[in-house]
């Protein structure tokens, strides 16, 4: 799903039940930090402590958060990441794990959502991704991805505020 209005409407519906958000990325590698930057920005922007505890920054080791997600009895997990999906930099798209069941090149290397689904068998997972421009070590986030971060944070923060 790539239409912005449809994406955030789907996320609004998706987060109606017991939910968590997991940002993935390496902030030292430019646009690869997308998921982590969004997660941290959401944590800074949200006022509800119960919502903030559901927003996790998995950084480069998201598997370290799987047991916490299981213990929170999360039914819906929104994963934020940078994915090379052949669109313009900064474009956003919503994926199901099924769409990514073969290894796809994330900016930080191949990722396998099958492993995530196996670790969290009772959790429905969606991936909100942006298309990166760069993942060079030491570069700051690119302008197109920085704009995507602003849009995603604004929209998801608004959704979270209505579901508390």
Mean pLDDT estimate for the chain: 88
Cβ atoms 45, 153 nearer than 8 A: yes
Phi, psi of 75 (to 5 degrees): -95, -25
Which CATH number covers residue 63?
Answer: 3.40.50.1450
Query: 37, 140 in Cβ contact below 8 A?
Result: no
User: By residue range, what is the domain housing residue 96?
Assistant: 4-163
Task: Please tell me the total count of domains within the chain.
Answer: 1
Task: Please list the ranges in the chain whose pLDDT falls under 70.
Answer: 1-2, 100-112, 114, 164
d(CA 17, CA 142): 34
Residues contacting 135, CB < 8 A, separation 6+: 29, 30, 31, 32, 82, 107, 108
43-60 per-position pLDDT tens digit: 999 988 889 999 999 999
């Amino acid at each position: 799903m790539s239409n912005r209005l449809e994406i955030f409407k789907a996320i609004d519906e998706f987060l109606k039940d017991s939910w968590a958000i997991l940002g993935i990325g390496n902030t030292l590698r430019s646009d690869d930090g997308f998921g982590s930057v969004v997660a941290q920005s959401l944590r800074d922007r949200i006022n509800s402590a119960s919502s903030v505890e559901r927003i996790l920054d998995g950084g480069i080791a998201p598997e370290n958060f799987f047991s916490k997600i299981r213990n929170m009895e999360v039914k819906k997990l929104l994963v934020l990441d940078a994915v090379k999906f052949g669109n313009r930099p900064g474009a956003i798209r919503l994926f199901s794990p099924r769409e990514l069941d073969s290894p796809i090149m994330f900016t930080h290397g191949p990722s396998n959502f099958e492993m995530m689904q196996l670790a969290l068998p009772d959790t429905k997972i969606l991936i909100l991704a942006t298309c990166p421009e760069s993942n060079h070590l030491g570069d700051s986030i690119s302008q197109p991805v920085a704009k995507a971060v602003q849009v995603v944070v604004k929209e998801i923060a608004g959704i979270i505020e209505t579901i508390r």
